[in-house]
Amino acid sequence: FKKIVIALDGYSACGKSTTAKQAASILGYRYIDTGAMYRAVTLYFLENHVALTNQREVEKALVNINVSFKVNSKNVTETFLNGLNVEKEIRKMRVSENVSQVSAIKEVRSAMVEQQRKMGKEKAVVLDGRDIGTVVFPNAELKLFMTADMLVRAFRRQKELLEKDQLVDLDEVIQNIQQRDKIDTTRAESPLRQADDAIVIDTTHITVEEQVDEVVRLALSKI
Ligand code: C5P
């Protein structure tokens, strides 16, 4: 089998990571959650009171940040920031509310993109994010772009948060998704956009299983 890079981009809360994770597991591929990397950087910035507009401070902080992934005993990939498991912390609203501002910073992006390219060098990977098919791996063999109706996305995200013991108002979830989409699509540095050769998957009316099947089917046609 040929090893390929699968780039899965799209708006916030469309089911990218759920789909990418499961498709990667079926294909025996590695899954890289690039959003988790930006979330971990955001957590570090928040905890260390890094001033986002101070380039020197940002650069200094980035030198001290090491984000990595480890698979736990339940076969779930977890995110580590400087050796500390931050998987739970990075999914909280506090991080969601600040991550798009942090990920719009040029220096943050170049540091993360460099690391993502290293992680995907050997191929056989599924990466999900916002700029994978356009910037990180513009030559990816399979590019997908996920979208879904706002309300469906918000309900799904709210349920996901609830499963993690976080009760968040639907309005707050909608506001956060809309705000992130706006910042992500309008930023100067590698804004979120659909690559010309990406295949669109609208997840509004389909189940997770159907999403995964579709990704696996498309991947197999390239392998
Ligand atoms: O994928 P997730 O929703 O966890 O990503 C969190 C945020 O990280 C996004 O809203 C976006 O601001 C940023 N991000 C990015 N580029 C990526 C992945 C995520 O800018 N490749």
Nearest CA to ligand 1 atom 5: 35
Q: How far apart are CA 147 and CA 181, in angstroms?
A: 11
Task: Answer for the pair 182, 104: CB distance below 8 angstroms, yes or no.
Answer: no
Across 44-100, the runs of DSSP E, i.e. the strands, are 67-71, 77-81, 84-85
pLDDT given at position 75: 87
What is the pTM for the complete model shown? 0.97
Quote the pLDDT of residue 172.
98
Ligand 1 close to Cβ of residue 96 (< 6 A)? no
pLDDT at 100: 98
Range of the domain at 192: 5-222
| Contact 181 CB / ligand 1 (< 6 Å) | no
Whether the complex's predicted ipTM is more than 0.95 is answered with yes
How many Å lie between the centroid of ligand 1 and the Cα of residue 213? Answer: 24
Rg (CA), the chain: 17
Residue 174 has a pLDDT of 98
Number of domains present in the structure of the chain:
1
20 touches 213 (CB < 8 A): no
Tokens read off for 202: 């609208």
Q: What is the reported pLDDT for 1?
A: 86
Q: Which atom of ligand 1 is nearest to the CA of 12?
A: 3
Check whether 15 is labelled as a binding-site residue: yes
Those residues of the chain that have pLDDT short of 70 are none
pLDDT in the model for residue 52: 96
% of the chain residues with pLDDT over 70: 100
Q: What CATH number is associated with residue 216? A: 3.40.50.300
Nearest protein Cα to ligand 1, atom 2: 35
What is the model's pLDDT at position 117? 98
Tokens linked to 149: 């109706």
Comparing C-alpha atoms, which of 83, 58, 61 is closest to residue 70? 83
Indicate which residue's Cα is closest to atom 14 of ligand 1: 35
